[in-house]
């Protein structure tokens, strides 16, 4: 590992510990040349995931898109940032555990809705109304009835 201060390649690990819920390792390193310390992170390399959109276009998976949709749905609702992050982590875990190289955006949306339904009912309906493209009030009411029946 090159030192970011002097660019020498003679560095050594002086401390290692788990980071990010054991999904990566944080390493403190020491440069043998200049004596400065720096931190590196080691993470498992994942298979790049391709998302198949509704129009059959393909694009690389982007966590921030799920986060943005969930944040919009939870706007002005009693849902903490930690709860949102946990929900997105759960969605990601479910997606990557499928071990597929391609996944339909439709399936990702269904997983998000399933998780939101358990977290916050209003956020769920907001997300569903955009995701399922409710065309009229009847479609909206049908979705609300499903929630009320449970």
Cβ proximity of 112 and 69 under 8 Å:
yes
The C-alpha atoms of residue 106 and residue 118 are separated, in whole angstroms, by 19
> Could you tell me if 81 and 111 lie in one domain?
yes
The C-alpha atoms of residue 143 and residue 116 are separated, in whole angstroms, by 14
> Could you tell me if 110 and 139 lie in one domain?
yes
Instruction: Write down the pLDDT at residue 65.
Output: 94
Angle of the 81-97 helix axis to the 63-73 helix axis, nearest 10? 140
Strand partners, 18: 25
Residue 98 lies in a domain: yes
> Could you tell me if 35 and 57 lie in one domain?
no
Q: In what order do the strands lie in the sheet with 50-52?
A: 58-60, 50-52, 102-104
Q: Express each pLDDT in 97-139 by its tens digit.
A: 888 889 999 999 999 999 998 898 889 888 888 877 777 777 7
Antiparallel, parallel or unpaired: β 58-60 and 24-31: unpaired
**With 90 as the cut, is the pLDDT of residue 53 above it?**
yes
> Could you tell me if 84 and 101 lie in one domain?
yes
Q: Can you say how many angstroms the Cα of residue 58 is from the centroid of all Cα atoms in its chain?
A: 18
The range of the structural domain enclosing residue 19 comes to 11-43
* Cβ burial, residue 52 (10 Å; 0-12/13-18/19+): middle
Please tell me the pTM assigned to this model: 0.63
> Could you tell me if 35 and 60 lie in one domain?
no
Q: State the average pLDDT for the chain.
A: 88
Cβ proximity of 32 and 60 under 8 Å:
no
Residue 57 lies in a domain: yes
Tokens of 35: 């004596």
**Nearest by Cα to 87 from 118, 129, 46:** 118
pLDDT band at 60; cut points 50, 70, 90? very high
Antiparallel, parallel or unpaired: β 50-52 and 102-104: parallel
**Number of compact structural domains in the chain:** 2
Region 129-150: mean pLDDT is 75
């Amino acid at each position: 590992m090159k030192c970011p201060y002097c660019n020498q390649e003679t560095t050594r690990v002086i401390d290692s510990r788990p980071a990010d819920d054991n999904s990566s390792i944080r390493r403190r390193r020491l440069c043998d040349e200049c004596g400065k310390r720096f931190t590196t992170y080691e993470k498992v390399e994942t298979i790049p995931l391709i998302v198949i959109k509704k129009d059959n276009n393909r694009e690389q998976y982007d966590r921030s898109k799920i986060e943005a949709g969930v944040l919009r749905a939870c706007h002005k609702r009693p849902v903490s940032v930690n709860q949102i992050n946990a929900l997105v982590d759960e969605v990601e875990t479910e997606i990557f555990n499928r071990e597929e190289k391609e996944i339909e955006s439709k399936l990702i949306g269904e997983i998000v809705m399933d998780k939101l339904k358990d977290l916050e009912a209003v956020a769920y309906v907001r997300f569903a109304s955009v995701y399922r493209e409710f065309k009229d009030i009847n479609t909206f009411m049908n979705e609300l009835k499903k929630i009320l029946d449970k």
